[in-house]
Structure 1
Amino acid sequence: MIASPFRPTDLARAALAAVLVAALPAAKGRADILDSITSGFGLFSGEKYKTEILPEIPAEDIYNQGLARMEKHDYENAAKKFGELEKQYPFSQWARKGLLMQTFAQYQKPAYDDAVASAQRYIGLYPTSPDTPYMYYLAGMSYYNQVPAVMQDQESAEKALAIFTQLVEKFPKSEYVTDVKYKIQVARDQLAAKDMMVGRFYLTRKNYPAAVNRFHDVLAKYQTTRHAEEALYRLTEAYFAMGVVNEAQTAAAILGHNFPDSSWYKDAHSLLATGGVAPEEHHGSWLSKIGKTLGSS
């Protein structure tokens, strides 16, 4: 409901004035009487509403004003200026260019959440634009630049990985692919490191099933990272402690097959020897299935 611009007392006085005017003789002149009755009420007095027509600024001028702010590193106001293009020139090429530059300005500030939102908006509006791969890149980098230390929550790494993966899949010939593939590996390594840290924690608490789940995730999701060797050893350690010897043997055997010179393999071999057994692959194990693709990209 739209609120009335009049106060209740003003409305009452206006209604009273209308009644009085209707009751007065026509010769008196209702318009004059109405003026005299309502004088001082404030209802019809005061300045009259004036329509203000703002001058239309050419799109190129707005764009250049945004560029000028960018040159001064005033990224916040540059983003606002570029945003005006979509408001004043919707559904135009200037609106598209403005959204592109607005995203870049937000990224440069940095206002990463705003940059991600603007990039996703661009991708939704212009999926076939030549600049769409760049929007994926900026969105991914906005998350990538916020990846924290391993012991903290890795949501940013997960989101960066997801966006970078989409970029590689949808635009395999993009100029950003080489850089993105490297950053994908970094993000995967970060996520694997977090799982390893949690898995080690469970091992120290002798919560072996929980530890196994974490090391399983490392091999299932991040087997091309540098953490695969240790994950296999930790699985050997966890299964051996649980008394599941065949799985411990399989983990050690796969470790030796893929990383024969690894110190982790030597440790796994020594651990099994304390129980009178040696590394041996049992092909019915889930580890055996993972071992067939271990190390492949």
Structure 2
Amino acid sequence: MPLWGSRAGLGAVAVMLSLLAACSSTPKDETAGMSNEKLYAEARDEAAAGNYERAIRFYERLEGRTAGTLMSQQAQLELAYAYYRANEKAQALATLDRFIKLHPSSPALDYALYLKGLVNFNDNLGLFGRLSRQDLSERDQQAAKESFQTFRQLVEQFPDSPYAPDARLRMKYIVNSLAAYEVHVARYYFRRGAYLAAANRAQQAVQDYPESPAIEEALFLLSQSYDRLGLTQLRDDAQRVLKASFPESAFLTRGFEADNRPWWQLW
């Protein structure tokens, strides 16, 4: 056999062996020698340092190791929080839903509900998120509604929970934001001459969020939309409610067509 052929053959064999070695090797498990307590401490340290992806790997391994124990429940909750902070919302919600389903009598159930509400909570929503300069998607609205329902379950089931006061504040914020969004949409339709659509959205706000400050403009929009539609009786009814509920309303004298600012900037 020629020398060059022999060298080529040896080279080919070497390449094949290296490929086989690469295929047979597996990533080293850095947690293999750790005790459960050490693994938990490492996971917490990584989360505290903001290394959420690494913390997630540790918590997942710990949960699997300690299945059926209180440590597994703790790892599950902290895993959900790590997912939340890593902006992996779907994984966080799935983890929390699994916890709530498997541990309905857990002493940490109030925290699980609170965290689930937080995952869906959008603090850029509505009035305080510059609603007049952004259009929020229906997906944002659905998440806000789910957040409200979870917070409500928390405060009803655990009224004395340390998480209940903040949940109540967030519920109020969500209600006001959702109402403001409905009015925002109603105002959009009204200014484009879609009076029936405007009336429907304003009516929705009045029905669903009667305690919200945004109802003042909703009633005004409702009366103006009915007026444009020639529904005088409904117009007069809406105006009566507006006058009775907000006797000093700027809408009674100024409206919004003379001033394009939203209702919360009229004063």
Q: Which amino acid is the alignment partner of residue 212 of structure 2?
A: T
Structure 2 residue 74 is matched with structure 1 residue 97: yes
Are 2:46 and 2:55, in contact at CA under 8 Å, matched by a contact in 1? yes
Q: How does 1:183-194 map to 2 (within 5 A)?
A: 183-194=170-181
Q: Distance in 2 between matches of 1:228 and 1:180?
A: 23
Q: Distance in 2 between matches of 1:172 and 1:263?
A: 39
Give the 3-state SS of the residue equivalent to 1:159 in structure 2. helix
- 1:158 pairs with 145, 148, 164, which one? 145
Q: Distance in 2 between matches of 1:164 and 1:97?
A: 21
Give the 3-state SS of the residue equivalent to 1:223 in structure 2. coil
Instruction: Tell me the TM-score normalized by structure 2.
Output: 0.73
State the number of aligned residues: 217
Structure 2 residue 241 is matched with structure 1 residue 254: yes
Q: For each residue in 1:64-123, what CA deviation from the matched residue of structure 2 results, as whole angstroms up to 9, or x when unmatched?
A: 221222233212211221121221121111211111221222223343332222122111
Q: Look at both structures and tell me which one has the larger radius of gyration over its CA atoms.
A: 1
| Residue in structure 2 matched with residue 8 of structure 1 by the alignment | none
- 1:85 pairs with 62, 79, 102, which one? 62
Q: Distance in 2 between matches of 1:145 and 1:234?
A: 27
Long gaps (5+) in structure 1: 1-53, 269-297
- 2:226 pairs with 220, 225, 239, which one? 239
Q: Distance in 1 between matches of 2:63 and 2:154?
A: 26
Greater RCO (CA < 8 Å, at least 6 residues apart) = 2
Tell me how far 1:155 sits from its aligned partner.
3.0
Greater CA drift, 86-95 or 138-147: 138-147
Q: Which amino acid is the alignment partner of residue 230 of structure 1?
A: E
Structure 2 residue 105 is matched with structure 1 residue 128: yes
- 2:166 pairs with 153, 176, 179, which one? 179
Cα distance, 1:146–1:253 mapped onto 2, change above 3 Å:
closer
| Residue in structure 2 matched with residue 287 of structure 1 by the alignment | none
Structure 2 residue 217 is matched with structure 1 residue 230: yes
Identity %: 28
Tell me how far 1:169 sits from its aligned partner.
2.3
Give the 3-state SS of the residue equivalent to 1:185 in structure 2. helix
| Residue in structure 2 matched with residue 75 of structure 1 by the alignment | 52
Q: How does 1:133-144 map to 2 (within 5 A)?
A: 133-144=110-121
Runs of 4+ in 1 over 4 A off after TM superposition: 54-57, 146-149
Long gaps (5+) in structure 2: 1-30, 256-267
Instruction: Tell me the TM-score normalized by structure 1.
Output: 0.67
CA RMSD between the two structures: 2.4
Are 2:122 and 2:144, in contact at CA under 8 Å, matched by a contact in 1? no
